[in-house]
Amino acid sequence: MEKVRLHFDPRCPWCYQANRWAVRVQALGEIDLDWGLYCLEVANLPGGADPVALGETARSASALRTAAAILERESSKAVGRFYVALGSRVWEASTPMSDRDLAVTESAEEAGFDRSIVADAMADPRTWTEVLRQHRELVDKGGIGVPTMVLDGGDGPAIFGPVISELPGDEDSVELWKTVSWLARYDNFYELKRRRTAQPDLPGWKVPPSRLTFGSRPWMPPVPDR
Amino acid sequence: LTSRPAGSGTGAPERVTFLFDPRSPWCYQTSRWARLVEARGQVELEWGVLSLEVVSLHDDEDPHVLEAEYGPALRTAVALRQRSGTEALGRFYAALGKLMWDSDPPEGFPADLVPAESMEAISRRALGEINEDPALVDQVLADPASWEAVLDEHRHWTKDLGAFGVPTLVFGAGEGPAVFGPVLRRLPDEQTALELWRRVSWLAHRGFVFELKRHRALSMRADLPAAVWRGALRVARMQAARALMTPGGPCEGASLEWSMAAVRRAAESVPPGDAPG
């Protein structure tokens, strides 16, 4: 079974869709997942800007730092449980939680941790250092955003995507995995893309932007390629 | 594969319209792959054009008055297809691509940044290679409607099918879906080419899949003999254009392509040896 690391930022609904798909492929026995962290607001900083202050202000800072604390106390698998619990509250609920900190706290609890882990994570500067370290690690592998899948448990080739609007059925899920894996390992392949004519099929995405748990929509239409 | 769409490995070849602009070496590389797949009976290609220069214009820049660098080739392409069919256009693009990208760079490069032949001249030569009349280039350039025909086609692919660059594969015999890519650095071997085709076709027919991408450094060039030389020429002209785009400059606020057209006009109006501006 292939070991795959999925890097995520909880504020991206496309990333959460890819995670739902990856979790299903794991349930079908095709892959063994673990999770890596990434921060879109760090990625969007102007060149040379210091990402340290974003540890307090980034929309997903409390979620990512809690994930780092979960990793330290338990495992990357526990980070995955936390991400799924969070996604079910902010993306899969028809009325997404408006209180982001409460969503993070409840999700940590659901993943098996005490509520205090969130405050502990925010009080410990090492949690943001760990988020930035994992972010940097992905960038150094050529990571350009999330979702990004890294094969061989994080040591193999990295590929951005798959960007999917809906969760495929079992058969298509497995075939999509085989295709993503084949293309990721074929190092002569760089890109396949179509205009995003659909939005993520997630109830939490359909609410007005002001009510999104993580604030603005972190997605822009594609720019022309050359 | 358990659920193959029609044409992806079984039964009749899938009909795909391949959208190109001769300016992109990546597009030419993908076209070589597509022809390999066509030769193995998996796909039937038709050919269409999309202008990368027009795609990159700002909303307030009128494509009708753009003197596009690759305009002569695109205008010739559309006129040739009208006169001799899509198969002739496919041969024209193959000849053009071979002359532009699959030929050694001129002697003197890289020590000297030897300029490239004009698109008029190279389009005439490409027509000659496929036994078509090179005078077609002069006919289209004398007829402003030939650029309008390119713009009409460009508008169709971008507005109606959602195309935004090249290479683009338009499945369903040109009715859609349209998918950008696959971007490839080198030509795959035959077995890999066919496997790649099956994967790409499968993804293209899954409308919920939007993107898969590997990081590609700006400095990376397609694995083609002339790609480094032509890439260096383009970078030099981009730098000249960016100098015009600075605050207070003649192209402040303009798009890069608009500014590059201004650089070409300036070069044409200055005798060799004189520094422009």
B183: alpha, beta or left? (left if phi > 0; alpha if psi -120 to 50): beta
Per-residue pLDDT tens over the stretch A128-154: 999 999 999 999 999 899 999 999 999
What DSSP line would sit under A64-87, residue for residue?
HHHHHHHHHHS-HHHHHHHHHHHH
Average pLDDT over residues A19-31: 98
Q: Does the structure show a pLDDT above 80 at A223?
A: no
Which residue from B200, B208, B212 is facing A161, i.e. has the nearest CB? Answer: B212
Strands (E), chain A: 2-8, 31-37, 148-150, 158-164, 189-193
Which residue from A165, A179, A190 is facing B184, i.e. has the nearest CB? Answer: A190
A47 DSSP assignment: T
Per-residue pLDDT tens over the stretch B52-70: 999 999 999 999 999 999 9
Average pLDDT over residues B118-146: 98
For B213, the enclosing helix (H) or strand (E) is strand B209-213
By DSSP bridging, strand B178-184 and strand A189-193 are antiparallel
Average pLDDT over residues A32-37: 98
Cβ neighbours of A121 (radius 10 Å)? 28
In the structure, what pLDDT confidence band is assigned to residue B268 with cuts at 50, 70 and 90? confident
Which residue from B162, B192, B210 is facing A165, i.e. has the nearest CB? Answer: B210
Average pLDDT over residues B23-47: 98
Contact B202/A158, CB-based, under 8 Å? no
Cβ neighbours of B273 (radius 10 Å)? 5
Per-residue pLDDT tens over the stretch A149-199: 999 999 999 999 999 999 999 999 999 999 999 999 999 999 999 998 888
Q: Does the structure show a pLDDT above 60 at B272?
A: no
In the block, which residue shows the tokens 């389009």?
B123
Residues of chain B neighbouring A222 (CB-CB closer than 8 A): 164, 211
Residues of chain A neighbouring B1 (CB-CB closer than 8 A): 175
Q: Is A202 on the interface with B (CB under 8 A)?
A: no
Give the residue from B177, B142, B137 showing the smallest Cα distance to B157: B177
Contacting residues for A46 by C-beta, under 8 A, at least 6 apart? none
Contact B2/A171, CB-based, under 8 Å? yes
**Residue type present at position A65:** R
Residues of chain B neighbouring A187 (CB-CB closer than 8 A): 214
pLDDT of residue B204: 98
Contact A189/B179, CB-based, under 8 Å? no
Between residues A45 and A174, which one has the greater pLDDT?
Answer: A174
Average pLDDT over residues B217-238: 95
Compute the nearest-CA separation of B239 from chain A (Å): 17
- Among the residues of chain B, which ranges form H helices? 25-39, 52-55, 71-84, 86-101, 119-129, 135-141, 145-155, 161, 190-204, 227-244, 256-269
Q: Does the structure show a pLDDT above 60 at B275?
A: no
Q: In angstroms, what CA-CA distances link B27 with B33, B54, B93, B94, B217?
A: 10, 16, 11, 11, 17
pLDDT of residue A160: 97
Residues of chain A neighbouring B214 (CB-CB closer than 8 A): 142, 157-160, 184, 187, 189-191
In the structure, what pLDDT confidence band is assigned to residue B93 with cuts at 50, 70 and 90? very high
With CA atoms as reference, the chain B residue closest to A150 would be B214
End-to-end CA distance of chain B, in Å? 61
Provide the mean pLDDT of chain B.
Answer: 93
Interface of B with A in 245-274 (CB under 8 A): none
pLDDT of residue B6: 45
For B18, the enclosing helix (H) or strand (E) is strand B14-20
Q: Is A184 on the interface with B (CB under 8 A)?
A: yes
Q: Is A164 on the interface with B (CB under 8 A)?
A: yes
Give the residue from B259, B236, B233, B234 showing the smallest Cα distance to B246: B259
Average pLDDT over residues B72-86: 98
Average pLDDT over residues B110-138: 96
Provide the mean pLDDT of chain A.
Answer: 92
Residues B170 and B201: their CA atoms lie apart, in Å, by 11
pLDDT of residue A94: 86
Structure tokens at B98: 């071979």
Residues B56 and B49: their CA atoms lie apart, in Å, by 15
B134 burial (CB, 10 Å; 0-12 / 13-18 / 19+) is middle
Which residue from A164, A165, A188 is facing B188, i.e. has the nearest CB? Answer: A188
pLDDT of residue B123: 98
Phi, psi of B15 (to 5 degrees): -95, 125
Which residue from A159, A163, A166 is facing B214, i.e. has the nearest CB? Answer: A159
Mean pLDDT is lowest, of A197-201, B71-75, B150-154, for: A197-201
8 A C-beta contact, residue A81 and residue A110: yes
Q: Does the structure show a pLDDT above 60 at B8?
A: no
Q: Is B58 on the interface with A (CB under 8 A)?
A: no
Per-residue pLDDT tens over the stretch A75-123: 999 999 999 999 999 999 988 888 899 999 999 999 999 999 999 999 9
Q: Does the structure show a pLDDT above 80 at B41?
A: yes
8 A C-beta contact, residue B97 and residue B31: yes
For A130, the enclosing helix (H) or strand (E) is helix A125-140
pLDDT of residue A211: 78
- Percent of chain B past pLDDT 90, that is, above it, reads 90
Average pLDDT over residues B193-216: 97
In the structure, what pLDDT confidence band is assigned to residue B273 with cuts at 50, 70 and 90? low
